[in-house]
Structure formats: structure tokens, C-alpha cells
Structure 1
């Protein structure tokens, strides 16, 4: 077994954030934070929240951030080529049902 995520542990210590504090701020269990420090790679949404909370770069905190295609599929609900392809009533239902946040990834490929 590896050494775990020493970068995450050090970043938490630097900010004075305990496992309990981080768990509460992210809305996860303390056990989840313990697992991340032990080396379990969090879901991408959690990685971004952790990095923001600790004022660190997500790629520095989680250099092995690829959680695998199975976990990625669990996070991906549905995808369209263009935002306009998504029915407006679906957008509304996503927003209304959100328990914590709604994140929209928008990529513009212009030359």
C-alpha cells in the first residue's frame, strides 16, 4: 500500500483544516476525508471543492486524479453536443432538484 495523499494532508495542515472541518464544508463523512488522505481519489466534483477550500491547485493535490471511467459514468447524467440541444424543461428540472449546486461545463472551440 502507498503512502497516501501527503499533499492533501500537508495542505490541510497548512490551512489549519481538520478532517472534520473539511468533511463538514463539503457535506461528506469524515471517513471520506480519511480515505482521501489514505490515497483514495475523490470524485472530480469533490476534488474541485477540496482544492478551492484549501486554496490549492486541483492537479497538484490530485496528480492521479483519473478516477476511472466507471466513476466518471456515475457522475455523468446526460450529455448534449450543444446547450441548446438540451430541452429547456430538463434544464429547469435539474436546477429545481439540485440539493447543493449546479455546475455547467461550457467549452468554446474557436480559432
Structure 2
């Protein structure tokens, strides 16, 4: 399944028939692209032009080899939905000591059964898993809902939905979930010394905002600021529920 292409089509308010007509191909061909098949280069370029994005955002596997942009900065993705699913799974699956999630809802992770299985597996292997979500009755969650243009009630509902889905982790030793009442300028997803930082922008849903892939290379590197931020928010909260010992 090519989620990047699916999200881009939704953002552009186009369907398979629209794309097929624009490229003069069969709608079944576009459906196969959505299912994961990689188009020929001429079709990739045409789709990218139609959606006003780079083809690598839709098909990261055809992009240039990975390279470090600067010390501690591994990659920058233009949107959260453009981060390949394998990046999320490799991030959490590679953790050996700790995993941390700081967001308002992180519903996209809670809805991913594969991610929940990875968190469960890592916790049972001795990895500390800490999840910080916004308090659904807090002013901060309401304000973020208004900022994103979806409304306070919808944002609170997203948090509650995420909490329901995370209940599968409730009795897993090593997992702790807390609620925060903090204004977040970014969402933080951490696995040991690696982080994915989803910036927040006023009026822009988090899924459409950029994501930085950082490595903690030194106490003065860019990752350190976000690790410190996570810990400070954590210290202001109390457990919602905690996996049994």
C-alpha cells in the first residue's frame, strides 16, 4: 500500500479516475500504484507534476541514496505523511533502551497495528516505552484543534480514540502512558539516540507539516534540545496507567 500517494491524492482532492484521465491510463493502473506498484518513470513524473510534489515524496524508494545533511540531521521530510512507513517501523523496532512519544494524539501510530505490535515486542524485550498524549479535556488540546481548523471537539475525540487503541499496551510491563497539558511546538518520536520531530505550524495539520530525522551525536547537537523538551514535559505529568512489573 502506497500511503504517501493516497494521502497526496486526498490532499489534492483527486481520485483514481481523475489521475487516470489526466495521464491517459486505465483507472485500474492507478489503483495498482496505490496498492504499491511503482510506475514507470514517465508516469511517476506526470503524477508528481499533477500533485505539485517531488516524485520522491510519493515513491521514496526511487530517490537518491540517503545522505546526512549535517551533523545530527539525517533527513528532512516535507510532510509527516511523506515519511515512509518503514522509517517509523525501523525507528521503533531498532530501540534497545527506550522509546518515547510526545504528541497531542499520535492517532496515526495508534491506528497502526504493526506499530503497536512493535511497541509491545520492544517493551517485553526490556525497552522502556513512554507515551505522552495531550489531556483531552485540557485547554491546550482544544486550542490545537482550533489551530488546525478541525475544532476543539474533534481534536479531543482524536486523543480519546488514541487512548482507546493504546489500551492494548496497558498491561505490558515497561509501558507507561501519561497525559500532558503543554503547548507543543512539535511532536517528538524517539528511539534511543534517534528522533523524528514533527514540527507544528499554525493552521496546518501535523500530517502536512515537515518532519526532521535527527540523531543525538552530542549534547550540543540539534537532537539534544528535543530530548530535553521531552524530559521536561514528562516530569510535569503523572501516570495514566502503567504496565505491570
**TM-score of the two chains, using structure 2 as the length reference:** 0.25
Question: Structure 2: which 5+ residue stretches go unaligned?
Answer: 64-245
Structure 1 residue 21 corresponds to structure 2 residue 18: yes
Please list the CA deviations of residues 53-91 of structure 1 after superposition, one character each: whole Å capped at 9, or x if unmatched.
Answer: 01111111111238xxxxxxxxxxxxxxxxxxxxxxxxx
Within 2, Cα distance between the matches of 1:14 and 1:63? 18
- Say which structure is richer in helix: 1
4+ aligned runs moved over 2 Å, structure 1: none
Helix, strand or coil: the match of 2:61? coil
Within 2, Cα distance between the matches of 1:50 and 1:65? 14
Name the residue aligned to 2:29.
32
Which is higher, the Rg of structure 1 or of structure 2? 2
Within 2, Cα distance between the matches of 1:46 and 1:26? 7
Question: Structure 1: which 5+ residue stretches go unaligned?
Answer: 67-111
Q: CA RMSD in A?
A: 1.2
Please list the CA deviations of residues 5-42 of structure 1 after superposition, one character each: whole Å capped at 9, or x if unmatched.
Answer: 10000000000011000000000000000000000000
8 Å contact kept, 1:26–1:49: yes
8 Å contact kept, 1:44–1:65: no
Within 2, Cα distance between the matches of 1:8 and 1:53? 12
**Alignment length (residue pairs):** 63
8 Å contact kept, 1:19–1:34: yes
Q: How does 1:20-99 map to 2 (within 5 A)?
A: 20-65=17-62
